[in-house]
Amino acid sequence: MSSYDKLRPWTEIENCDCKEITSIVLVDILTDNPIHCFNCKNEIDPEFLKLDQKLVDDIASWYGVFQSLYNLWLNSGEYEEYAKEKLTNKNSQVNVEGMSVAKRLSAYYPSYYWWFSDTDDGELIYCPNCAKKLDPNVKYGTGKCEACNVVV
Ligand SMILES: [Zn+2]
Ligand SMILES: [Zn+2]
């Protein structure tokens, strides 16, 4: 992404074209849609998945807050600490809602919420929600927790 692109509408959408969707990850990689294929990491259109509209609305609502906090964290300065506290606290609204929409999405396909982590803090070995050891058997990230629908 160039600096110019930051002030342009997002147009370089890379859509998943896997033969079969096996699992989904809800992740902010600075695009408009957080629904990504967990196999190829490209975007999947919510209409293609035939998700119910309430779930899509709730994903959009959660994602708006996640993006806001993530942007505040990226901006550093006076917002950084506040945003990081919200993004790492397992009881914060953004994380509770992220896990909740991932769980509901799992009724369609096994789904995970990509938990925020600051690489400066080292790798997470335990689930940030339930503190059980993460399953390292993942294509992306360092591990997942099936019970919490979380991937780190
Ligand atoms: Zn895919
Ligand atoms: Zn867990």
Tell me which residues have their CB within 5 A of the ion that is ligand 2.
127, 129-130, 145, 147-148
At residue 24, the pLDDT reads: 98
Partners of residue 135 on adjacent β-strands: 144
Nearest-angstrom CA–CA distance, 11 and 5 = 9
At residue 41, the pLDDT reads: 96
Q: What is the pLDDT of residues 27-75, one digit of tens each?
A: 999 889 999 999 999 999 999 999 999 999 999 999 999 999 999 999 9
Q: Which ligand is nearest to the CA of 112?
A: 2
Q: Which ligand is nearest to the CA of 14?
A: 1
Give the mean model confidence (pLDDT) for residues 1-16: 86
Q: Distance, CA 112 to ligand 2 centroid (Å)? A: 11
Q: Which ligand is nearest to the CA of 18?
A: 1
Question: Cβ distance 21 to 7 under 8 Å?
Answer: no
DSSP calls for 3-56: TGGGGS------B---SS---EEE--SSSS--EEETTT--B--TTTTT--HHHH
Q: What is the pLDDT of residues 71-109, one digit of tens each?
A: 999 998 999 999 999 999 999 999 999 999 999 999 999
